[in-house]
């Protein structure tokens, strides 16, 4: 099946691109390997997306975007992209279900995923006390002791969310100042259930079948201590999901795709949008904006060339 546009990834960038492309009258498919919404759907509450005065849950916002894309005629396929070609007039995408999708243009919107700490037991105890998604797994920690690692918006939001469920939450941050926006910091600092362990890093995750504790080291004093916990929520930033197109498009050393202001990657008919892109601010609102700009660039390319 030949589409005008194929969008890879159904996060806010991909779904917004889908809404715009479909409204431009282009035959559009969005390919998603997991669920709509990307990182946004793992966020408990989004307070800074304009129009939602009291905030909106990440999953709800994602579902609304998905519904909107479908309403305008974008097709959404739940299938993983395994390989693709970017050069030439017709791009080819091969999926895990062995389907071949062809399109005149592509928008790369695969987003980013949580960064790992890189500790020895981290992978083995993933899902058994180690989590990268408080909203997904928080319910398992009702009345339990948890730590959150990180100092950005995600870590603070996770700590606040978990404070409603867990018996106690410690936030472990490697510096003496948080990176999260002030409004979130204030909420957390006035929450009695969240204690902050400053200037510290987790050096070991302890446990056989499940997490039973962590070792924490203070970076300033060198002091190490063990702490009994049932859950370790890791929120130390993101890594881009760009391995699929490694060597095919220009990227930063960290793997973020470099585009111009039209979201064009430098190959005819290929654009990138959202968290996968090198840019100064990664939020739902900037992803949506990227998606709209990329879709418009692709629409112009298609109307000029086909
Ligand atoms: P982030 O802003 O990159 O923050 C990562 C945090 O983890 C930083 O505090 C960093 O410490 C720490 N860190 C990084 N590597 C570490 C390591 N190896 N060991 C220990 N700590 C480490 O990541 P994020 O909080 O996931 O946010 C990602 C993006 O999503 C941001 O643009 C954020 O604004 C956005 N976001 C927005 C919302 C919202 O608006 N509602 C919610 C969630 C996320 P340093 O501070 O020392 O670098």
Query: Which CATH number do you get for residue 212?
Result: 3.50.50.60
215 within a domain of the structure (yes/no): yes
Q: How many CB atoms lie within 10 A of CB 118?
A: 8
Q: Does the beta carbon of 175 sit less than 6 angstroms from any atom of ligand 1?
A: yes
Per-residue model confidence (pLDDT) at position 136: 86
Token pair for 40: 């946004």
* Percentage with pLDDT > 90 across the chain: 96
- Based on the fold, state whether residues 230 and 243 are members of the same structural domain: no
- Report the pLDDT averaged over residues 208-234: 98
- Based on the fold, state whether residues 109 and 141 are members of the same structural domain: no
Determine whether 98 is an active site residue: no
119 within a domain of the structure (yes/no): no
Find the domain containing 141 and state its range. 130-234
pLDDT category at 43 given cuts 50, 70, 90 is confident
Choose the residue to mutate in 48, 151, 175, 199 for probing ligand 1, maximizing ligand atoms within 8 Å of C-beta: 151
Per-residue model confidence (pLDDT) at position 18: 98
In a 10 Å sphere around its CB, with 0-12 CB exposed, 13-18 middle and 19+ buried, how is residue 120 labelled? exposed
122 within a domain of the structure (yes/no): no
- Based on the fold, state whether residues 143 and 242 are members of the same structural domain: no
- Based on the fold, state whether residues 56 and 91 are members of the same structural domain: yes
- Based on the fold, state whether residues 35 and 97 are members of the same structural domain: yes
Out of 217, 234, 251, pick the residue that ends a domain: 234
Per-residue model confidence (pLDDT) at position 290: 98
Is the pLDDT reported for residue 1 higher than 90?
no
- CA nearest ligand 1 atom 18, residue: 117
Out of 201, 234, 267, pick the residue that ends a domain: 234
Per-residue model confidence (pLDDT) at position 45: 87
- Report the pLDDT averaged over residues 215-236: 98
Is the pLDDT reported for residue 44 higher than 90?
no
282 within a domain of the structure (yes/no): yes
- Based on the fold, state whether residues 248 and 109 are members of the same structural domain: yes
Atom of ligand 1 nearest to the CA of 281: 32
Look up the pTM and report it: 0.87
What average pLDDT does the chain have? 97
Separation of alpha carbons 159 and 281, rounded Å? 22
107 within a domain of the structure (yes/no): yes
Separation of alpha carbons 114 and 180, rounded Å? 16
* Percentage with pLDDT > 70 across the chain: 100
Polymer length in residues for the chain? 306
- Based on the fold, state whether residues 52 and 201 are members of the same structural domain: no
The bridge status of strand 194-197 relative to strand 200-206 is: unpaired
Per-residue model confidence (pLDDT) at position 10: 98
Determine whether 136 is an active site residue: yes
123 within a domain of the structure (yes/no): no
Q: What are phi and psi of 274, to 5 degrees?
A: 90, -155
Separation of alpha carbons 13 and 279, rounded Å? 13
SS (H, E, C) 152-174: CHHHHHHHHHHHCCCCEEEEECC
- Based on the fold, state whether residues 135 and 192 are members of the same structural domain: yes
Q: Does the beta carbon of 46 sit less than 6 angstroms from any atom of ligand 1?
A: yes
Token pair for 138: 């928080």
- Report the pLDDT averaged over residues 220-247: 97
Out of 212, 234, 256, pick the residue that ends a domain: 234
Per-residue model confidence (pLDDT) at position 302: 98
Q: Does the beta carbon of 150 sit less than 6 angstroms from any atom of ligand 1?
A: yes
pLDDT, tens only, 160-212? 999 999 999 999 999 999 999 999 999 999 999 999 999 999 999 999 999 99
């Amino acid at each position: 099946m030949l589409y005008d546009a194929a969008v890879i990834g159904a996060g806010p960038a991909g779904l917004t691109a889908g809404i715009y492309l479909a409204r431009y009258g282009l035959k559009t498919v969005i390919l998603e390997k997991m669920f709509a919404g990307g990182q946004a759907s793992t966020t408990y509450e989004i307070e800074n997306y304009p129009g939602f005065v009291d905030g909106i849950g990440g999953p709800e916002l994602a579902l609304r975007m998905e519904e909107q894309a479908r309403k305008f005629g974008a097709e959404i396929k739940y299938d993983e992209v395994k390989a693709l070609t970017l050069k030439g007039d017709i791009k080819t995408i091969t999926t895990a279900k062995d389907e071949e999708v062809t399109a005149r243009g592509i928008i790369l919107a695969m987003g980013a995923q949580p960064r790992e700490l890189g500790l020895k037991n981290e992978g083995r105890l993933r899902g058994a006390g180690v989590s990268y998604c408080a909203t997904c797994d928080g319910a398992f920690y009702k009345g339990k002791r948890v730590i959150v690692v990180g100092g950005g918006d995600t870590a603070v939001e996770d700590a606040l969310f978990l404070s409603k469920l867990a018996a106690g939450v410690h936030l472990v941050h490697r510096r003496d100042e948080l990176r999260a926006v002030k409004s979130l910091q204030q909420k957390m600092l006035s929450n009695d259930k969240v204690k902050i362990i400053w200037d510290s890093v987790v050096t070991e995750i302890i446990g056989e079948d499940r997490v039973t504790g962590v070792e924490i080291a203070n970076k300033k004093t060198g002091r190490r201590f063990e702490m009994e916990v049932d859950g370790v929520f890791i929120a130390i930033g993101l890594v881009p999901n760009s391995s699929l197109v490694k060597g095919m498009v220009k990227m930063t050393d960290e793997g973020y795709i470099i585009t111009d202001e039209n979201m064009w990657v430098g190959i005819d008919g290929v654009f990138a949008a959202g968290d996968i892109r090198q840019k100064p601010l990664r939020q739902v609102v900037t992803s949506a904006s990227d998606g709209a700009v990329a879709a418009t660039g692709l629409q112009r390319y298609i109307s000029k060339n086909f």
